Amino acid sequence: MEKNLIEALQWRYAVKQFDPTKKISPEDLQFILSAGNLMPTSYGLQPFRLVVVENPELKEKLVEHSYGQRHVADNTYLIVMAVRTDINEEMVAEFTHRIEQIRQLPAGAVDGYKKVMVGDLTNRTPEARRIWAQKQAYLALGGMIAAASEKGIDNHCLEGFNPDRYDEILGLSERNLHATVIMAIGQRSEADESQHQKKVRVSEDQMIIRL
């Protein structure tokens, strides 16, 4: 059942136990993925990809490298957010070419913008570029959490896994990608006691500072 955003976020919790017999529809998955794709990122570059793992055997292989957390396998879909490792001038050129195509601009119309992006990103160390890309991925993650929750779709997001082993098992390195954070979506099990716990947050009076 769909909810307004605040109701949805009050309802949501990090599901510890999914019911593998209850499946999420492909249409609802697409809704969540579209929300992630539409979220803003620095320069609009979207330096990450959303890798959807549906294959049960693959998900089972990932459990061992996720500290044994069963919600990595017992979900309907596991979305692995993987940052690009090829953040370079060619990537920026692909993006600016796409801008010109979609907005029907003449070739070279955004060369000034391209120069700014290339100058910024190539002056960063590889580690700094990776951290920058991860920050952009988390913007998309927030949008997907909200979208799933509004649809009444349970989810659990985690960093508790071995990214290098995920890269190996899912063949991400060959795609110039590196696993960063994962989002499992499905429906909660009635046996999951966590759903009955009250949500603990800082009060809005403490959280919000008005100047």
Q: What confidence tens digit (pLDDT) does each residue in 37-95 have?
A: 999 999 999 999 999 999 999 999 999 999 999 999 999 999 999 999 999 999 999 99
57 in any annotated domain: yes
Q: How far apart are CA 208 and CA 211, in angstroms?
A: 10
What pLDDT is stored for residue 208 in this prediction? 96
Domain that holds residue 134: 5-86+127-207
pLDDT of 1 > 60? The answer is: no
Q: What is the mean pLDDT of residues 177-183?
A: 98
Instruction: Give 15's pLDDT tier (boundaries 50, 70, 90).
Output: very high
45 in any annotated domain: yes
101 in any annotated domain: no
What pLDDT is stored for residue 114 in this prediction? 97
What pLDDT is stored for residue 20 in this prediction? 92
Q: What is the mean pLDDT of residues 32-38?
A: 98
What pLDDT is stored for residue 53 in this prediction? 98
Q: Across all residues in the chain, what is the average pLDDT?
A: 96
Q: How far apart are CA 193 and CA 46, in angstroms?
A: 37
Instruction: Give 148's pLDDT tier (boundaries 50, 70, 90).
Output: very high
Q: How far apart are CA 46 and CA 34, in angstroms?
A: 13
Assign residue 184 the CATH number of its domain: 3.40.109.10
Structure tokens at 11: 């309802």
pTM: 0.94
Q: Would you say how long the chain is, in residues?
A: 211
153 in any annotated domain: yes
158 in any annotated domain: yes
